[in-house]
Amino acid sequence: MLKVDLSGASAFFTGAGPDYAHAALAHETLLSGSGLGSDFTGWLGLPRRIRDTELDRIVAAAEKIRARSRALVVVGIGGSYLGARGAIELLRPVPGEGDPKVFFVGNGLSADYLCDVLRQLGDADFDVNVISKSGTTLEPAVSFRIFRELLAKKYGDMAGEHIFATTDARRGALKSLADAEGWESFVVPDDVGGRFSVLSAVGLLPMAVAGIDVRRVVDAAVAEMDALRVPGSDNPAWQYAAARQNLYGKGFSVEILGCYEPSFRFMAEWWKQLYGESEGKDGKGIFPASVEYTADLHSMGQYVQEGPRMLMESIVRFDSSLCSYAVPFDAADGDGLNYIAGRDLAEVCAVAADAVKEAHISGGVPNIVIRCARRDEEGFAALVCFFEFACALSGYMSGVNPFNQPGVEAYKKNMFRMLGKPGAV
């Protein structure tokens, strides 16, 4: 399990500090299924369920793709996209020898981006994993139409063999197409919303194709979810949820999630969706933003240190690096760096992180540290389960339904009317 260090936030808390009685109530509400949106809490049991149902088929499909193709094109947006991308960039930032390259499309409407992907894809053999729970989302539907045409040109009658559809078990245009065309299909469970679906086939199939050991991920997630179910003020999800709600109550309305690993960038994007879509409603919600350290210290650092004081900072730190590299000694020392010669880069980075923490706290930014053992399959599972569980608690603590997203429909209505969709008003 992860560890949450609130020592850098304690000086900023209101009253007696994090309200664990309120966290206990949210925990009970979540696990008893008595809260708002409780029919979308299937993610709590998802790791065990996927292990008992689709996991073998996911691994077999991934092996088939890895054996025959140089690329997988993943078509999806939002919750049908960000988790897989976060996982792959975190755990496989550089594809291993023989790993297919994973391209993500359907997460926007840019013609230029699409053409860039097509150029990179070239004439490589490829498969397509189209992911859409509703099966009707415009961005992935458009990209999927384009890639279906390409598959048909490339593979003729065999094109359907290269399509894997991840969608609702019963409903939607994609489900109907998949059934009619006989594509291999995987399920986005009814009781799991898009942003909570990374541990279903939505995330696991692209991850497995990229060479991530998804059995390890799922096994670890089973244990993590079990551990998070245990109530108590030492539960890291309670600590994180209660601390951020306390700070929000004191006016810290923006949370920046940071990490010292550049490979964490898309995990932060996944986190932003998870928290933004779950909490930003009814006129409430902490605004989730992200930074990549140390790079952003040279761009955003000024604002964090001295801008308006509504920022809280949550930093994900990995206890051990996967690699080590010592700073070389240089007899001439023209750059004056010999004072750190021989010290491991990971150690230098850890010192920098401590220095940043101290500076930002002294600048009035509460600091929460989320400590994860390693940047590996178990670490990824721990991060996902922790952030999902804490998000649900935090949403219930602030009085919203953490599992709906009514606000995302507003722009779609306008867009469909402007595009002339039949029936749109």
Q: Which residue, 132 or 235, is less far from ligand PA5 as judged by CB?
A: 132
Residue 166 binding ligand PA5, by CB under 6 A: no
| Residue of the chain from 85, 133, 265, 375 that contacts ligand PA5 (CB under 6 A) | 133
Q: Which residue, 137 or 235, is less far from ligand PA5 as judged by CB?
A: 137
By CB atoms closer than 10 A (0-12, 13-18, 19+), residue 49 is buried
Calpha distance 43→57 (Å, rounded): 20
Residue of 109, 107, 89, 154 lying closest to 127 (CA atoms): 154
Tokens in use for 58?
């996911």
Element housing 75 (H / E): strand 71-75
- The answer to whether the CB of 176 falls within 8 A of the CB of 141 is no
Query: Minimum CB separation from ligand PA5 for residue 39, in Å?
Result: 14
Query: Minimum CB separation from ligand PA5 for residue 367, in Å?
Result: 29
Residue 137 binding ligand PA5, by CB under 6 A: yes
Residue 35 binding ligand PA5, by CB under 6 A: no
Total residues contacting ligand PA5 by CB under 6 A comes to 14
Binding mask 266-305 for ligand PA5 (x = CB under 6 A): -----------x----------------------------
Q: Is 360 a catalytic residue?
A: no
Q: Which residue, 6 or 165, is less far from ligand PA5 as judged by CB?
A: 165
- The answer to whether the CB of 304 falls within 8 A of the CB of 313 is yes
Neighbour tally for 124: CB within 10 Å: 12
| Residue of the chain from 83, 86, 189, 193 that contacts ligand PA5 (CB under 6 A) | 193
Q: Which residue, 79 or 301, is less far from ligand PA5 as judged by CB?
A: 79
List the interface residues with ligand PA5, window 387-406 (CB under 6 A): 405
| Residue of the chain from 134, 294, 321, 401 that contacts ligand PA5 (CB under 6 A) | 134
- E strands present in 241-383: 254-259, 287-292, 311-318, 367-372
Residue of 129, 70, 63, 62 lying closest to 99 (CA atoms): 70
Calpha distance 402→376 (Å, rounded): 28
- The answer to whether the CB of 135 falls within 8 A of the CB of 179 is no
By CB atoms closer than 10 A (0-12, 13-18, 19+), residue 142 is middle
Catalytic residue among 184, 277, 279, 313: 277
Calpha distance 363→376 (Å, rounded): 33
- The span of 111-119, 188-196, 284-292, 377-385 binding ligand PA5 (CB under 6 A) equals 188-196
183: Cβ–Cβ under 8 A, 6 or more apart, which residues? 160, 163, 164, 165, 177
List the interface residues with ligand PA5, window 341-380 (CB under 6 A): none
Query: Minimum CB separation from ligand PA5 for residue 421, in Å?
Result: 16
Q: Which residue, 50 or 192, is less far from ligand PA5 as judged by CB?
A: 192
Residue 236 binding ligand PA5, by CB under 6 A: no
Catalytic residue among 97, 153, 298, 409: 298
Query: Minimum CB separation from ligand PA5 for residue 350, in Å?
Result: 35
Residue 195 binding ligand PA5, by CB under 6 A: yes
- The span of 127-135, 244-252, 305-313, 412-420 binding ligand PA5 (CB under 6 A) equals 127-135
Q: Which residue, 24 or 138, is less far from ligand PA5 as judged by CB?
A: 138
Residue with tokens 């976060």: 86
Q: Which residue, 20 or 183, is less far from ligand PA5 as judged by CB?
A: 183
DSSP code of 103? E
Q: Is 184 a catalytic residue?
A: no
What is the arrangement of strands in the sheet containing 367-372, beginning at the earlier edge strand? 3-5, 367-372, 311-318, 254-259, 287-292
Catalytic residue among 3, 101, 250, 412: 412
List the interface residues with ligand PA5, window 68-87 (CB under 6 A): 77-80
Query: Minimum CB separation from ligand PA5 for residue 191, in Å?
Result: 13
Do β-strands 367-372 and 3-5 pair in parallel, antiparallel, or remain unpaired?
antiparallel
The C-alpha R_g of the chain, in whole angstroms, comes to 22
Query: Minimum CB separation from ligand PA5 for residue 201, in Å?
Result: 12
SS3 at position 127: strand
- The span of 132-140, 224-232, 324-332, 379-387 binding ligand PA5 (CB under 6 A) equals 132-140
Q: Is 298 a catalytic residue?
A: yes
Q: Report the catalytic residues.
A: 277, 298, 412
Give contact residues for ligand PA5 (rule: CB under 6 A). 77-80, 132-134, 137, 140, 193-195, 277, 405
